[in-house]
Chains A and B, each alone.
Chain A
Amino acid sequence: MAYLDNAATTPMLPEAVAAMTELLGKPGNPSSLHASGRKARRQVEESRERVASALGCGSAEVVFTAGGTEANNIAIKGIAWDQRNKDPRRNRIVAGSTEHHAVLDPVRWLGESEGFEVTWIKSDASGEITVAALREALGPDPTNVALVSVILANNEVGTINDITALTEVTREFGIRFHTDAVQAPAWLELDFSKLGVCAMSVSAHKVGGPHGIGALIISRDCHVTPLIHGGGQERDVRSGTLDTPAIVGFATALEITTARKLETVSRVAALRDDLVKRVKEIAPDATYSGAITNRLVNNAHFVFPGCLGDSLLMLLDAQGVECSVGSACNAGVPQPSHVMLAMGADEDQARSTLRFSLGWNSTQADVDALIAALPSAIARAKRAGVPKVTTAPVRV
């Protein structure tokens, strides 16, 4: 089997599995006052420091969540509410049109159910949100904006946004800035303190840690109205008993991933470049989506004209090659990618995509398996064609 869907999730590092499983049978709620509780608390706090050190933030700025989606929801809803409470004029949310659904949907919800005005920032053809596009979205009166959210590295096409440049714009107007950095920590040098954001979402299972754990990094001066009320854990921002083994697994994975990053990045970049070159040889009509250089080194994303991404995925799966069409699923049905549409692709192109994403344990054999399986998959998928779509999907 060739697993080329590491942007969806990547296997856990053996060290993280060992660190986590060792704790699974142990008692101790980190909020308990006895010896077992204190021991668990120590595990959590040491993990918090390890996470902070890997991400360039203070340990007090790390709020553990049940993953990236929850971190995004806390940041987006919590900051928007807090900002509007403090200044009712701040009733607008500005977000990238290429965001992951975990940002897109909370922003839409705030617009539909909470009376916020929503402005989507246009993407350029490479999937990048530029300073000019942000300025255009902010419009003549940026002071009514409660929050700007822009993804750090796009999950579908891998394009990296220059968050530092973008936050220079919002700083002029005192606007809060959140970034969804879920795809970034394994591949980019990530320094929260230099990004200029007040909140950043990360997830453990994208860096070789367990599922169901992540963190929202929130700067000290950034207040969020909590979504979940309860025992007051995690600075009152995210109540709920802390998952000590998962937190330790997360910290272990993030620490090791960070330590090995240079070596992994150069090895995976070479594999990815080989993959791209050989896919283009097999399918000269395929177009490489997204940025050329300004992109995650593990990401390769193509439009295969005349082939439904869905068909290609199934045909490759049947040959043991696992990848993704790149976009979100609705009941298992891939929708035409909103990211591709935002980048200016037409609907047929947006349904004809495949994303190959490499991981820390990807090998040349994985790429070779894809290259061996791809020609027949393309031929068959082309025969099946791309069904005509009669109704346009929702664009953001």
Chain B
Amino acid sequence: MKVLAALSGGVDSAVAAARAVDAGHDVTAVHLALSRNPQSHRTGARGCCTIEDSNDAFRAADMLGAPFYVWDLSSEFQEKVIEDFISEYAAGRTPNPCLRCNESIKFEAVLERAMALGFDAVCTGHYAQVFQGPSGPELHRAIDPLKDQSYVLGVLTADQIAHSMFPLGNSTKVEVRAEAQRRGILVAAKPDSHDICFIPDGDTAGWLSRQIESVPGEVIDVETGNKVGTHAGAHAFTVGQRRGLALGNPTGDGERRYVVDVDVSKNLVMIGPPVLLEIDLIETIKPRWAGALPANGDRIHVQIRAHGDALPATLSLNDENMVTIQLDEPLRGLAAGQAAVMYDGTRVIGSATVSRSRRSASL
């Protein structure tokens, strides 16, 4: 196959591309330039976006004998990932930009361009597996539970999965690093990337405060309806958050208070005792299915954070744009905007965006 390997400049994508070459594919490498103003050197543990990363990717491609190009996706990334991230936060939701990037950049803009240019598949260093199932290709968790990235790939549609190649899914990170070492890939010891790639110092709240106008407002105790403090800007708060409230102990009962709701339209941060964070009914919108549509009442597992647990639940398909997930056991703290990725065992069924979560009558 003619394979387009996306090389970030890190270990994983380099080993993934090397495995694609070993498997006999005709591999061409691209580095995605996502930043408008790339820094020359890496700072902190990030795996993309600097000229140094681009050079690392070039060297890795060179060692594999793969032609190398840089594709400028910075406009698309700005519009579909960064601006979406800002507007979601501004609307009081908590988005996952990595999912958005996979959905609209890596497996949409890049994959579509690759297919048009005559490639058969896009290969990345994500830890996930694709198997041929009875009704087409299926996306499954990687064997390394610590590295499994099927969550951030949960937005892929069946068609995108059919043209994706994840050669690392059957290995552990330790094995991949050792393989990089053995192959002489120069970035073998490069640290893993964490955090959000476009926020270099990892200070998401500080970064957002420079993008979104902060209007001070009131902090309300939901149980009493009383104003118990002020905040510098509602968008900086996420459901489940306790730090940064600086309220002391407003009720005198010794129980800690958490953000239980953020109402951006009224610029209110609602706080309450932890029990109010417990929810068992998740309403989601914009579902994307990795294969055949599930059925109403299907027993599933749902994951709501990149490295969260898979929680047993029951699925209800309200209509084609709305899915309700009833958890077996309540969960503490779920913000609108987070992605709920649904699994059948290790297989990804699909994903949807949390619009609302609440306590069911039975709780």
Contact = CB atoms under 8 A, between A and B. Distances in A.
Q: How large is the interface on B (under 10, 10 to 19, 20 to 34, 35 or more residues)?
A: 20 to 34
A373 B148 CA distance: 42
A333 interface: yes
A106 interface: no
Given A315-B117, A384-B117, A385-B116, A332 B70 contact: yes
Contact of A311 (B38, B67, B79, B117): B117
Contacts of B71: 310, 333
A330 B112 CA distance: 24
B70 to A, nearest CB: 3
A318 B113 contact: no
B22 interface: no
A126 to B, nearest CB: 28
Which among A314, A380, A385 has the highest number of chain B CB atoms within 10 Å? A314
Interface residues of A, number: 22
Interface stretch (A90-98, A140-148, A388-396): A388-396
Given A332-B54, A332-B69, A383 B38 contact: no
A331 B117 contact: no
B54 A381 contact: no
B58 A332 contact: yes
Contact of B117 (A333, A334, A380, A389): A380
Nearest to B54: A331
B117 A383 contact: yes
B75 A390 contact: yes
Contact of A331 (B51, B75, B112): B51
A68 to B, nearest CB: 22
B109 interface: yes
B38 A314 contact: no
A108 to B, nearest CB: 15
Interface string A323-346: 000000011111000000000000
Contacts of A383: 116-117
B72 interface: yes
A380 B117 CA distance: 5
Interface in A345-395: 380-381, 383-385, 387-391
A331 B78 contact: no
Contacts of A310: 69, 71-72
A333 B70 contact: yes
A45 interface: no
Nearest to A336: B72
Nearest to A382: B116
A17 B69 CA distance: 30
Contacts of B78: 390-391
B33 interface: yes
Nearest to B58: A332
Contacts, number: 57
A318 B117 CA distance: 11
Interface in A171-229: none
Nearest to B109: A387
Interface in B77-94: 78-79
A317 interface: yes
B361 to A, nearest CB: 46
A42 B116 CA distance: 59
Nearest to B53: A331
B75 A388 contact: yes
A247 to B, nearest CB: 31
A314 B68 CA distance: 9
Nearest to B32: A333
A330 B31 CA distance: 13
B120 interface: no
Which among B33, B75, B117 has the highest number of chain A CB atoms within 10 Å? B117
Contacts of B109: 387
B79 A380 contact: no
Nearest to B31: A332
Contacts of A311: 113, 117
Contacts of B112: 384
Given A332-B31, A332-B33, A384 B113 contact: yes
A380 B70 contact: no
Given A318-B28, A331-B38, A384-B117, A390 B79 contact: yes
A383 B54 CA distance: 27
A314 B119 CA distance: 12
A102 to B, nearest CB: 19
B75 A387 contact: yes
Contacts of A380: 116-118
A387 B112 CA distance: 11
Contacts of B51: 331
B76 interface: yes
A381 B118 CA distance: 9
Given A317-B67, A380-B116, A384-B113, A333 B75 contact: no
Contacts of B69: 310, 313-314, 332
Contacts of A333: 33, 70-72, 74
A93 to B, nearest CB: 25
Which among B58, B67, B69, B74 has the highest number of chain A CB atoms within 10 Å? B69
B293 to A, nearest CB: 30
B28 to A, nearest CB: 7
A391 B75 contact: yes
Contacts of A385: 113, 116
A80 B171 CA distance: 61
A331 B70 contact: yes
A317 B75 CA distance: 25
Contacts of A330: 38
Contacts of A334: 72
Contacts of A389: 75
Contacts of A332: 31, 33, 54, 58, 69-70
Would you list the 4 A-B pairs with minimal beta carbon distance, nearest first? A332-B70, A384-B116, A383-B116, A333-B72
16 contacts: A310-B69, A311-B117, A314-B28, A317-B67, A318-B67, A330-B38, A331-B38, A331-B70, A333-B33, A333-B74, A380-B116, A384-B112, A384-B113, A384-B117, A387-B75, A390-B75
Interface of B: 28, 31, 33, 36, 38, 51, 54, 58, 67, 69-72, 74-76, 78-79, 109, 112-113, 116-118
Given A380-B118, A384-B112, A385-B113, 12 more contacts: A311-B117, A315-B118, A317-B67, A331-B33, A332-B58, A333-B33, A380-B116, A380-B117, A387-B113, A390-B78, A390-B79, A391-B36
